[in-house]
Amino acid sequence: MGYGVGDYALWNYIAMPFIAGGVGYFTNVMALKMTFLPINFWGLEIFRIEGQPWGLFGWQGIIPTKAYEMATITFDLMTTKLFNVREVFGRLDPIQFSIEMEDGLLLLMDSIIEEVAMEYMPGPWMKLPQDVKDEIVIMTDRESQAFLTDFMKDMQLHVEEMIDVKDMTVAACIANKPLVNKIFQECGEEEFVFIRVSGFYFGFLFGCIQTIAWYFYDSPWILPVAGFLVGWVTNYLALKVIFRPIEPKNICGYNLHGLFLKRQKDVSATFARIICVEILHVKAMWEAIFAGPLSANFFAMLRAHTLLFTEKLIVEIKPIAVTAMGANRYSEMKEAIAQKVIDKIPSIIDQSYEYTQETLQMEATIRQKMQELPSKEFEGVLHPAFEEDEITLIALGGVLGALVGVIQLYAFFI
């Protein structure tokens, strides 16, 4: 080979920019797919560094591999800038909350008192005049609203000690790695289209340069090296155009701003919708309160309120109960009633879901606050998906490009 002109047919040269464009498109598409897939490691895991997507021999999507790190970064932003759990819970009206829960609590208390009384003092309870039993029902009706109202007021003051929103959201993402993919894919949907399409255009431009170089110097190493550069540079440029410049810059009358950052309003709406539908909904929040790492604080507070509530309910039968079973046994019965209330409150909390969901307005809150973020902070929503392993993505594009360059060399020129 060596230096020379006209060694190959014209179509070989014409095809080069288009092949380079195809290489750019292919490497960007593959880089995106390998960012998100596979969810679990695929291949023979002979050797693998913990926390890295690659291994000998196989691959796991970058985001599924680093689900914990990426969710932590994203929800750090949310819990510090977008969502204050005390402020949000403060929107509940304790009286209205008690009204929503009242019917369920009355039915619950009726069955609990009957059950415990039959266990601790069946004889006296069965002989108890109906009007005394009715008085307990009346007292339950009278005191239940006060119990629930006081309980919610206390909870609003201490809700940060009862639910760790960051732990709840990060745990949900670790347990459901496809959900982490969904957050990034839907928030960055338009940017990912740009990455794929821009791969062709950037690749085509570099292919023109490659064609000129090959025309004058057709050494075999040119095509693999050019393929590597096309894959590397197209990935690099696509990522930079999406996130840079962070702040709008006017250059020669043209406003330059990162593509993702330009869509802050739309992305905020998408992010808020996914988070509040999939993770931060009322049912999940109550489940985190009941079973999360701070649940002991919640049940301690509930126990204190429930013991006072129980004392007021059974005051009418206290003389009879103490006479029939003794003071110690009466205290045990009171504790048993309180414990059953504590155990069964989670089973009726769903009666408050509709009111709570409407009142908290979490999606609107997150959307509005996210739309108001400075560009630098807003960038942290999607950029972590690439920033954690940006060099891996770029290098991956280069390697794939080099492989295509080798195939191109043997398919067309050797």
- CA-based end-to-end distance of the chain: 11
Q: What is the pLDDT of residue 2?
A: 42
- Residues with Cβ within 8 Å of 305's Cβ and at least 6 positions away in sequence, in order, are 147, 150, 151, 154
Q: 322: Cβ–Cβ under 8 A, 6 or more apart, which residues?
A: 330
pLDDT at 221: 79
Burial 13-50 (b: 16+ CB within 10 A, else e): eebbbebbbbbbbbbbbbbbebbbbebebeeeeeebee
- In degrees, rounded to 5, the angle at the alpha carbon of residue 77 between the alpha carbons of residues 75 and 83 is 80
Bridge partners for 81 per DSSP: none
Q: Tokens for 47, please give them.
A: 């050797």
4 phi and psi, to 5 degrees? 165, 165
Cα separation, 230 vs 16, in Å, equals: 12
pLDDT in tens, the chain (414 residues): 444 445 667 777 788 788 878 877 887 788 788 888 888 888 887 777 777 777 778 888 888 888 888 888 878 878 888 888 899 999 999 999 999 988 888 888 888 888 887 888 788 778 777 877 777 777 777 788 888 899 999 999 999 999 998 888 888 888 898 988 898 888 888 888 888 888 888 778 877 877 887 777 777 777 788 778 877 887 787 778 877 777 778 777 677 777 888 888 999 999 999 989 998 899 999 999 999 899 999 999 999 998 888 887 777 667 776 777 778 887 888 888 888 888 998 999 999 999 999 999 999 999 999 898 888 888 776 676 566 567 777 777 788 778 777 777 776 666
Q: What DSSP character marks residue 106?
A: H
| Closest by CA position to 394, among listed 230, 184, 181 | 230
Per-residue pLDDT at 4: 41
